[in-house]
Structure 1
Amino acid sequence: MAVLVTGGAGYIGSHMVLELLDAGEEVVVLDNLSTGFRWAVPQDAAFVAGDVGDQALVARVIEEHGIDSILHFAAKIVVPESVTDPLGYYFNNTVKTRALIETAVEKGIRNFVFSSTAAVYGNAEAPLLGEDMPLAPINPYGRSKLMSEWMLQDAHTAHGLRYAILRYFNVAGADPKGRSGQSTPQATHLIKVAAQAALGQRPHLDVFGTDYNTPDGTCVRDYIQVNDLARAHLVALRHLRDGGECAIMNCGYGHGASVLEVVDVVKRVSGVDFEVRLSPRRPGDPAQLVAKVDRIRRLGWQPQHDSLEEIVDQALRWEKALAGRKAA
């Protein structure tokens, strides 16, 4: 049986494909390449160019490749963009996910692992965010993901589709072997943008908001290394395959770093004192998001890259590799 990875040519999806292949799985990638890259998909994975909302195509892929499980990463993920284009986010993240879930049910898919987000918690004021906390997303991105969570839960109740929902926090870093990384040119991930500033690929770094109720006034986030995150999805998939209960689990490290702390680490690791500009808050940004991670750890997941310095070093090395790719 094979695993279908939607969005497998993107940042997190491509690392998931590597993790599955390393584990001996047969992998099929479905990606419309709107933000992903064909070169990011390893040769050992089958690739299908297409959209998760194309139900006839998805049904054909499931049948032709003997798919038994779906790992769904395809989504729009930029919070400020979701505020200015909410209907686009609801269409891409929610309507298309509904179509994918329907096709999965019709084709008898057993296991569905969904890429969700800490944005479903909104501005929850707690040192650590647990999965049972009230959910109150404050931006369309978070709402679009929460609606997809609800659909999965209802599909399980009505049709028996078994799911694992992984709410992850701020993903960063790159594959330590240099096989993949964050490659989107206009990505908004802080560590990537700071790495680009350190390497002279951006003239400066903007810090959005310095008046939050945090120790230094800037947003605090729980940064999880991308391979550790991919491994958490593999752990969740194996849990479902072994007959485990449907689950909702946070993915993070349980501790956070502020924007200014991240900037300091990037400057120290790179050895470059790049320009930082303090700017007003962006709409839709919560002050603090740090994960309570007891559930995923109980399944046997243990992080291997819980070091902000290591994550930053990976990001810097990947940006240098990307620059070399463009120059070649």
Structure 2
Amino acid sequence: MKAVVMRDKQLLVESISAPEPGHGEVLVKTLACGICGSDLHMFHHCQQVLANFKRGNIPISFDDGQDVVFGHEYCAEILDHGPGSDKRLKVGTRVCSLPFVISAQHFDHIGFSNRYPGGYGEQMVLAEQLLLPVPGDLPADIASLTEPLTVAAHAVNRARLDGSEVPVVIGCGPIGLAMIAILKSRGIGPVVAADFSAGRRALAEKMGADVVVNPAEQSPYQSWLQVAAPAGYDINGPMALLGLGLQPRPCVVFECVGVPGLIQQVIQNAPPRSRLIVVGVCMESDRIEPLIGIGKEMNVHFSFGYSAEEFAHTLHALADETLDATAMITGHVTLDGVVEAFDQLAQPDQHAKIIIRYD
């Protein structure tokens, strides 16, 4: 089969052997696959990422000296069933699934594995027990957004919102845009979104953000004050710090950038008793000042992944159009265009989500 292979720190379009389904697995044909920021991180910082996973006992691992086929945001079509399958979904069924293969002995993350090639290849092997049929006529490229949107949905669930909050989304890349889409689909808002990139700010508006800020010109927390706080509320005053007098609506900040210094920046500048949900994946060591966080009674949560129930809910929300993320897709390529797409995605004003298509 044809695939984009990471080999010797390069992405190469190659012809490789098609995978074969094992016990309880299915062979699928890839229909669409999103290029994820995690793929770019893994390509540029592979050894560092894998070392950090190992230190944190996170079971994502592969030998970067062997071929790896990225791609974990996909929609596919069943071609065949492996031994021991119950064949509940027939050949020809379009499916999405969590990108995992799990047993008592092994955990493999599809697309970050030597054993299980991802959606940058024409065929994949998936775990039958994790398959979800794609509802109705939902287009394959939209269905492939299920995975990144579920990352955002899980982060929103981690925030335990009750509807009274005014959220701030820091960073309007793919995950920030997904966060806006999830928040708006649940009626949470107004949503304040911030990004230095004019292109990404325009996409944030398309996704439904109510207030869009260039942080080079105005603090997103100043914009938050204008829509969340009563007149005269001083975000830095003693009454705010002690929770006395008229109070604003609760502030929840979703950090979707992942660069050193941003966690501290939020702790320092967000209002007292804010909730910070860290979704952006910082590839380096970072530093915070606990004294400030303690004095302001900040809550900090880290969010990673999602559950099977969250994944299914997101797929069905896309199908019944209670969740609209079409504007996230800013380009399509074939396998031959993946290397160029990686270069384009490094420029924030050009693209948000590029989908590999096989039609």
| Shorter-chain TM-score range | 0.3 to 0.5
TM-score by length of 2: 0.34
> Which of the pair is proportionally richer in helix?
1
Rg larger in 1 or in 2?
Answer: 2
TM-score by length of 1: 0.37
